[in-house]
């Protein structure tokens, strides 16, 4: 590991950022990362004693992250560790990066344990593990290679756990001496690793959990041997080879999952009774009293429950449950308190709000109320009985920080400036970190006193505006459906012209996503800005089915993909024609993943509106996609065959009359290239023309300058030639 021996306040940020101006964008500029204003502290965490803030940041303006420490007393940032120059990603790590959509390099994760000057920092990189204790230099934990998901023990930071060769191991952080805890792994059977569905669709990446008293460890066993293997050929390699995945196709078997508990020394395993075989192990957590809390989600996604297990006899009781005729979204807001009470969030009221479960048996009580979403529970101060959350209370396109009294539900806004706020609370609740930005200002990261509101800038001392970069911030607009429901949009308008202009819709359109936000990222969408500079009006609209608008809004597409989503995008175009100088005969659309699917469906279901489309990594029939995502919204083909047929691109290809470009990576292990193969065959059968760009060495998330440049250049060219 390398570190720079210096202490800085990051006063030179503007010098780097201002070297780029974008009045005359090109695909080459748009494909260059990082984009100004997006190099900000990531994975911000307070030290356990609340006296320092750790974060990851690229100090050189590139994509390689280093670990930094901000001292609350000196108000200075100091580098802790820099990226290992020869750290490559193992195949397993590369796939884990895909699951989390990680595009940064260098140090991409870390953990802080212990208290005071002897706090210990664990830094994984390239399968190796590095430790920094207090002011001592960074050292490598000897003898450990290819470690997956390493984690320090809760209290004794001289020990850590990790997964190696599909088994859980425990090691001494000083000597590296290690022993195996689990046994019995074999090809297709792993211990301590989350299965594909949990990682990709449920947001759970961990597969083992050390108890607070550090005497026991719970772990997942995942058996995928019965799931057919999906092959991906690496044609780009010097010696071509086949990468295989046990991919759970919709309606087909999932991984067989068991949850076991053993001592940290290993030995006999108690396998807990989870009930039915075909369910999801959604979350696992230890309570402060060393009981094991387990969130179970039924495969149909209609029922979720938290169970509390006694690990000594295997019995359990259900704490509380949530049911929905649509589906239950899994959250990360549950806190098991020392008192035995539980603070959590639920969508039972129609919007995600805070709820309180009382250990005394009085059950669940709703804390916050209203037609808005609690997006994240940041922490709970038991002494003051205050919860801290981010929420969309004022408007769905902004996120602010609030303190909430858990007895009265009273909410007090803590964040000040408009935009999107990400926050981290100190363990002692004396300070919090506020990272905020908007379409008008690049992000700034501040340390804020909870009592006085006084603050100190950690990063972002000199912020950027769109004008600094030669860009125009998008205009926010609101459309209203017939029933009065508002839809929020953003317009990138070209320079004033006397004639009507062509329009391009940039779309995602699927669930669990929101594209229209008062955020800096909206302004520095350089693909949209490039098209704007070329004379196109670019439009983004969050249709029904998108996230953070309540369950009814999101549930509008239940059992029927590409219905209300396409209708709302058509309505958006018609609004543009009526309210902006848009040529109705020159409207295009592009998107990636679900947005690629939406692009195809817009061309096929509304050919009178959309004339040109660029579909990136599109699903073409959701029977080709995975179980956990698709069945959540569409159920299975056995119970909703009509919905799957209606939502398939393939039977509709004879309707294609516009110009179509398809872009897809050959190594895409999420939306398989098979989707595009079947689309091409269907188009060939009805003799419909299309263009194709294949990215030989790209997965679902496009990485690498040459791949990004290819996507942006070809997409831009296609609109210029056909629109």
For 222-239, the pLDDT digits (tens) are 999 999 999 999 998 889
* Active-site annotation holds for 668: yes
Predicted confidence (pLDDT) per residue in 105-137, tens digit: 889 999 999 776 678 999 998 889 999 998 899
Whether residue 101 has pLDDT greater than 80: no
Mean pLDDT of 451-465: 95
Best CA proximity match to 210, nearest among 145, 174, 163: 163
pLDDT digits (tens, 9 = 90+) for 610-627: 999 999 999 999 999 999
Of 444, 539, 471, 464, give the one whose Cα is nearest residue 501. 539
Residue 145: both structure tokens together = 């290679």
Helix (H, G, I), strand (E, B) or coil at 593: coil
Give percent above pLDDT 70 in the chain.
Answer: 96
Residue 426 has pLDDT above 90, yes or no: yes
Q: Please, which pLDDT band fits residue 10 given cuts at 50, 70 and 90?
A: very low
Under DSSP, the state recorded for 453 is -
Per-residue confidence (pLDDT) for residue 85, from 0 to 100: 59
Whether residue 422 lies in the annotated active site: no
Q: 14 pLDDT exceeds 50?
A: no
Residues 6+ apart with CB under 8 A from 578: none
Q: Which two tokens stand for residue 646?
A: 């209606």
For the chain, the domain total comes to 1
Lowest mean pLDDT among 54-63, 391-400, 642-651: 54-63
- Is residue 254 in some structural domain? no
Distance between CA atoms of residues 454 and 446, nearest Å = 10
Query: E-assigned strands of 36-143?
Result: 42-46, 52-57, 64-71, 76-81, 105-106, 111-113, 120-125, 128-133, 139-140
pLDDT surpassing 50 at residue 301: yes
Residue, of 11 and 550, whose pLDDT is higher: 550
Q: What is the CA radius of gyration of the chain?
A: 26
C-alpha to C-alpha distance for 604 and 600, rounded to whole angstroms: 6
pLDDT of residue 102: 79
In CATH, what number is assigned to the domain containing residue 622? 3.40.50.1820
Active-site residue identified among 439, 668, 672, 698:
668
Of 581, 579, 583, 580, nearest in space to 498 by CA: 581
Q: Which residue has the tokens 């609350």?
A: 72
Stretch among 13-22, 46-55, 227-236, 634-643 having the lowest mean pLDDT? 13-22
* pLDDT over 90, % of the chain: 88
- For residue 181, being part of any structural domain is answered with no
Tell me the C-alpha distance between 193 and 209, whole Å: 11
User: What is the sign of the dihedral through the CA atoms of 537, 538, 543 and 549?
Assistant: negative
Q: What is the pLDDT of residue 117?
A: 65
Q: pTM of the prediction?
A: 0.94
H helix intervals, 170-313: 196-201
For 71-101, give the DSSP string. Answer: ETTTTEEEEEEB--TT-PPPHHHHHHHHHHT
Q: Express each pLDDT in 552-579 by its tens digit.
A: 999 999 999 999 999 999 999 999 999 9
The reply to whether 414 falls in a domain is no
Taking the alpha carbons of 89, 93, 95, 96 in that order, is the dihedral positive or negative? Answer: negative
Predicted confidence (pLDDT) per residue in 679-708, tens digit: 999 999 999 999 999 999 999 999 999 999
Could you give the CA distance from residue 52 to residue 74 in angstroms, rounded to a whole number? 10
For the stretch 239-248, contacts whose Cβ atoms lie closer than 8 Å and that sit 24 or more positions apart, written own/partner, are 243/91, 243/667, 243/669, 245/196, 245/669, 246/188, 246/196, 247/196, 247/626, 247/669, 247/672, 248/196, 248/197, 248/626, 248/627, 248/628
Domain membership flag for residue 498:
yes
pLDDT value at 310 more than 90? yes
Q: Output the average pLDDT for the chain.
A: 93
| Helix (H), strand (E) at residue 583 | strand 582-592
Please say if 700 is a catalytic residue.
yes
DSSP, collapsed to helix, strand or coil, labels residue 187 as: coil
Residue 359, pLDDT above cutoff 90: no
> Which of 212, 218, 199 is CA-nearest to residue 113?
212
Residue 572, in any domain of the structure? yes
Give the C-alpha separation, 85 to 75, whole Å: 29
Query: What confidence category does residue 96 fall into, taking pLDDT thresholds of 50, 70 and 90?
Result: confident
Q: What letter does residue 668 receive in the DSSP assignment?
A: -
Q: Which of 500, 207, 551 is nearest to 349 (CA)?
A: 551
Residue 463 lies in a domain: no
Lowest model confidence (mean pLDDT) among 58-67, 140-149, 443-452: 58-67
User: Is 571 within the bounds of a domain?
Assistant: yes
Domain around 687: 472-722
Query: For 189-214, what is each residue's pLDDT tens digit?
Result: 999 999 999 999 999 999 999 999 99
Q: Of the listed 324, 593, 648, 698, which one is catalytic?
A: 593
Identify the band that residue 88 occupies on the pLDDT scale cut at 50, 70 and 90.
Answer: low
Write out the two tokens for 80: 């802790």
Please tell me the distance from the alpha carbon of residue 254 to that of residue 577, in angstroms, as a whole number.
Answer: 47
pLDDT in tens, 668-681: 999 999 999 999 99
Which residues are within 8 A (CB) of 87 and not within 5 positions of it... i.e. 6 or more apart?
Answer: 106, 125, 126, 128
Q: Is 695 among the domain residues?
A: yes
Q: How far apart are CA 515 and CA 585, in angstroms?
A: 26
Question: For residues 380 and 341, is the Cβ–Cβ distance under 8 A?
Answer: no
Nearest to 336 by CA among 356, 311, 364: 356
pLDDT digits (tens, 9 = 90+) for 268-295: 999 999 988 789 999 999 999 999 999 9
Compute the distance between CA of residue 187 and CA of residue 203 in angstroms, rounded to an integer. Answer: 24
pLDDT at 523 over 70: yes
User: For residues 405 and 387, what is the distance between their CA atoms, to the nearest angstrom?
Assistant: 6
Strand, coil or helix: 505: strand
Strand partners, 42: 56
């Amino acid at each position: 590991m390398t570190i720079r021996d210096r202490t800085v306040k990051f006063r030179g940020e503007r010098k780097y950022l201002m070297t780029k101006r974008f009045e005359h964008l090109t695909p080459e500029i748009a494909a260059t990362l990082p984009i100004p204003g997006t190099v900000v502290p990531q994975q911000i965490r307070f030290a356990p004693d609340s006296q320092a803030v750790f974060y990851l940041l690229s100090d050189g303006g590139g994509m390689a992250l280093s670990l930094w420490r901000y001292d609350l007393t000196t108000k200075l940032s100091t580098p802790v560790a820099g990226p290992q120059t020869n750290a490559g990603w193992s195949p397993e790590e590369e796939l884990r990066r895909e699951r989390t959509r990680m595009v940064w390099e260098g140090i991409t994760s870390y953990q802080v344990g212990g208290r005071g000057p002897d706090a210990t920092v664990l830094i994984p990189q390239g399968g190796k593990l590095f430790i920094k204790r207090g002011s001592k230099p960074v050292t490598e934990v000897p003898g450990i290679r290819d470690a997956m998901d390493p984690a320090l023990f809760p209290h004794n930071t001289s020990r850590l756990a990790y997964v190696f060769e599909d088994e859980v191991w425990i090691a001494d952080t000083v000597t590296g001496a290690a022993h195996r805890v689990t046994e019995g792994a074999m090809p297709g059977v792993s211990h301590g690793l989350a299965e594909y569905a949990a990682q990709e669709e449920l947001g759970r990446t961990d597969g083992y959990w050390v108890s607070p008293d550090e005497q026991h460890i719970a772990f997942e066993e995942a058996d995928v041997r019965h799931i057919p293997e999906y092959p991906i050929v690496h044609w780009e390699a010097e010696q071509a080879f086949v990468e295989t995945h046990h991919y759970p196709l919709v309606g087909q078997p999932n991984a067989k999952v068991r949850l076991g508990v053993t001592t940290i020394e290993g030995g006999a395993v108690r396998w807990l009774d989870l009930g039915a075989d075909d369910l999801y192990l959604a979350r696992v957590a230890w309570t402060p009293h060393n009981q094991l809390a387990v969130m179970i989600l039924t495969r149909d996604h209609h029922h979720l429950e938290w169970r509390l297990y006694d690990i000594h006899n295997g019995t359990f009781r259900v704490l509380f449950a949530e049911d929905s005729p649509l589906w239950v979204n899994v959250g990360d807001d549950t806190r098991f308190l020392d008192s035995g009470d539980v603070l959590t969030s639920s969508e039972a009221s129609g919007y995600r709000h805070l709820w309180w479960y009382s250990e005394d048996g009085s059950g669940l009580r709703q804390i916050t109320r209203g037609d808005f979403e609690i997006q994240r529970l940041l922490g709970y101060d038991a002494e003051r009985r205050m919860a801290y959350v981010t929420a969309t209370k004022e408007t769905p396109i902004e996120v602010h920080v609030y303190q909430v009294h858990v007895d009265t539900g009273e909410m007090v806004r803590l964040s000040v400036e408009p935009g999107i706020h990400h926050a981290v609370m100190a363990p002692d609740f004396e300070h919090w970190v506020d990272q905020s930005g908007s379409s008008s200002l690049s992000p700034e990261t501040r340390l804020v006193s909870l009592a006085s509101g006084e603050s100190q800038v950690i990063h972002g001392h000199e912020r950027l505006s769109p004008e600094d970069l030669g860009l125009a911030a998008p205009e926010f607009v609101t459309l209203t459906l017939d029933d009065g429901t508002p839809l929020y949009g953003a317009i990138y308008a070209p320079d004033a012209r006397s004639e009507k202009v062509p329009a391009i819709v940039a779309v995602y359109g699927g669930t669990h996503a929101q594209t229209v936000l008062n955020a800096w990222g909206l302004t520095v969408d350089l693909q949209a800005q490039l098209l704007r500079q070329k004379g196109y009006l670019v439009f983004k609209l969050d249709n029904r089915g998108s996230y953070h608008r309540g369950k009814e809004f999101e549930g509008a597409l239940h059992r029927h993909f590409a219905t209300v989503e396409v209708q709302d995008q058509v309505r958006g175009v018609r609004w543009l024609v009526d309210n902006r100088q848009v040529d109705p005969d020159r409207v295009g659309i592009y998107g990636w993943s679900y947005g690629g699917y939406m692009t195809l469906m817009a061309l096929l279901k509304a050919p009178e509106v959309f004339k040109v489309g660029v579909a990136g990594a599109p699903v073409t029939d959701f029977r080709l996609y995975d179980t956990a995502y698709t069945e959540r919204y569409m159920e299975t083909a056995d119970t909703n065959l009509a919905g799957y047929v209606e939502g398939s691109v393939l039977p509709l290809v004879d309707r294609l009359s516009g110009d179509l470009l398809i872009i897809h990576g050959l190594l895409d292990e999420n939306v398989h290239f098979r989707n595009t193969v079947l689309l091409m065959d269907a188009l060939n059968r009805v003799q419909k023309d299309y263009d194709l760009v294949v990215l030989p060495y790209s997965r679902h998330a496009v990485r690498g300058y040459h791949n990004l440049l290819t996507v942006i250049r070809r997409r831009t060219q296609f609109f210029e030639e056909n629109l």
